[in-house]
Amino acid sequence: MTAMLDWTWISGLLDFCAVYYTTQLVRCAAFSFMLAGFVLLLRKMFFSEQTFLRGMLWSLFLIIPFLGRLKMFYENEAVLGATWRITAATTSWLWADRIYMAGILAAGICIFGKRLCLRRAVAGMEKVMFKSVRIYVTEMNITPFTVGLVKPKIVLPRVMVENYSGDELEAVVRHEQTHIRLGHLWCGFAWDILRCLLWVNPFLTVIQKYFRADMEDICDRVCIQNSGKAAHEYGAVLLKSLNLLRSGMGDVPPASTYVGEKEFTDMKRRMEKIAGFCPYRKRLCVGMAAGMVLEIVVLLMAVHIHSYARCNESRDILVGRYGAENEIVSGDTEELSRMISYDDHYVYVDREAFEDFLSRNNAEGDICIVFGGFYKLPGLGGAGEICFYEVGSKDAVVRIPYESINSYWYYELLKML
């Protein structure tokens, strides 16, 4: 019987998680549609020639997963009017919440399963050392790429290794190392997590090519400036790779971090950017990056301030009849708080006032008082303390002991979610 009860609790907890997180993530997905359009508009109209600023725009997506608990969904009339149907659906249709959670799982298996397959494929490739850098060599005609987060592995096609000079190979390897140093691999990882959580927004997958293109453009500019060579020399290496790889692409791994996406049109676009290269001021770029980091931190703090906490204290009090119907007699917290107070161990009831209240409301039978506790979001999840009132006491103030929900692991776990 205990095992069955525990399973019931666990099943209920899983269902609550589905409702709780789906409600938030659907709201985040709505924001992601708007932000995607905003970023594409800015990068096209205002930052088309500003490589670093164009790349920094994508960092705005970092705040998207934290927008689901904003208070404006409950307190702003305009937002409430626009989103209440979505909230009502996610909090009422458990089957829809389960489908959303299943979608996250399916997207995760698809996206990160491909990453895992790629890592395994790379692990079995031939390894060579080039100027103290370990290179993984593939027989496939693909553009160089890097895989892995903690221990990145640089992969080059054999045709490059055999036909490039030492200086040309060094330029290719330096490009991949720059991706690693700039954190682009982690950026790609974060983007894939966002695609999983917000899988209902297909535009996150569609615009991924622009995200990757901007990362490539940043990497190209940094490599050219740090190499100390002319831009046309760097571009010549790319042109040579275009000629070498033109004959048959072969079977490309299902996923990689920077594999060129099998499209040489991207190489043409990069060549145009390289041809127009102008030296940049490093200190200015570092300052812009620091400013963007500060802006994201400020935005996250603002979101935190204007959002509900993971666990919110409830001061509500209600009185009901305990039984088959569990009828609520009154939920007027203001009125009940004049008759009822409580601390960590006892509930204190003004006997005369409370029994007059019960008489006026024709409340008979087992009377329960529900008070305090916590809630996750307004109207969604939480628990209250409970005690039972027995008529017949002679004390002016009836003191009722109760066992706090804080002693139950289930509610403690619910608070942490």
Residues 354-374, mean pLDDT to the nearest whole number: 88
Q: Report which listed range, 137-146, 184-193, 336-345, is most confident.
A: 184-193
**Parallel, antiparallel, or unpaired: how do β-strands 367-377 and 380-389 relate?**
antiparallel
Please check whether residue 78 lies inside any domain of the structure: yes
Amino acid at 281: R
Which of the two residues, 272 and 29, has the higher pLDDT score?
A: 29
For residues 386-407, b (16+ Cβ closer than 10 Å) or e, as one string? bbebeeeeeeeebebebeebee
Please check whether residue 58 lies inside any domain of the structure: yes
Residues 196 and 286 both lie in one domain: yes
Single out the residue in 239, 272, 305 at which a domain terminates: 305
Gap between the Cα atoms of 220 and 232, Å rounded: 12
* Non-local CB neighbours of 213 within 8 Å, separated by 6+ positions: 266, 269
Residues 347 and 228 both lie in one domain: no
What pTM, to 2 d.p., does this model score?
A: 0.84
Residues 321 and 277 both lie in one domain: no
Distance set, CA 299 to CA 188, 277, 294 (Å)? 22, 33, 9
Residue 367 tokens read as 């009377």
Residues 291 and 317 both lie in one domain: no
Amino acid at 87: T
Amino acid at 75: E
Residues 34 and 169 both lie in one domain: yes
Q: Among the listed ranges 21-30, 213-222, 273-282, 368-377, which one has the minimum average pLDDT value?
A: 273-282
Please check whether residue 252 lies inside any domain of the structure: yes
How many domains are contained in the chain?
A: 2
Return the CA Rg of the chain: 30
pLDDT above 70 covers what percent of the chain? 91
Please check whether residue 213 lies inside any domain of the structure: yes
Residues 334 and 247 both lie in one domain: no
Single out the residue in 273, 305, 337 at which a domain terminates: 305
Angle between helix axes 2-45 and 77-92 (nearest 10 degrees) is 140
Gap between the Cα atoms of 40 and 33, Å rounded: 11
Please check whether residue 298 lies inside any domain of the structure: yes
Q: Dmax of the chain from CA atoms?
A: 99
* Non-local CB neighbours of 188 within 8 Å, separated by 6+ positions: 212, 215, 257, 258
pLDDT by residue (tens digit) across 67-100? 999 999 998 899 888 888 888 898 889 999 999 9
Q: Report which listed range, 16-30, 124-138, 355-369, 401-415, is most confident.
A: 16-30
Single out the residue in 276, 305, 334 at which a domain terminates: 305
Owning domain of residue 177 = 14-305
Alpha-helical regions (H) of 228-370 = 231-245, 264-275, 282-305, 333-336, 351-360
Question: Is the pLDDT assigned to residue 325 strictly greater than 80?
Answer: no
**Parallel, antiparallel, or unpaired: how do β-strands 133-138 and 153-157 relate?**
parallel
Quick check: helix, strand or coil at residue 156? strand
**Confidence at residue 248, expressed as pLDDT on a 0 to 100 scale:** 45
Please check whether residue 124 lies inside any domain of the structure: yes
Residues 348 and 295 both lie in one domain: no
Q: Are 347 and 369 in contact (CB under 8 A)?
A: yes
pLDDT above 90 covers what percent of the chain? 34
Residues 210 and 118 both lie in one domain: yes
Question: Is the pLDDT assigned to residue 134 strictly greater than 80?
Answer: yes
Q: Are 122 and 48 in contact (CB under 8 A)?
A: no
Residues 325 and 213 both lie in one domain: no
Please check whether residue 1 lies inside any domain of the structure: no
Residues 301 and 318 both lie in one domain: no
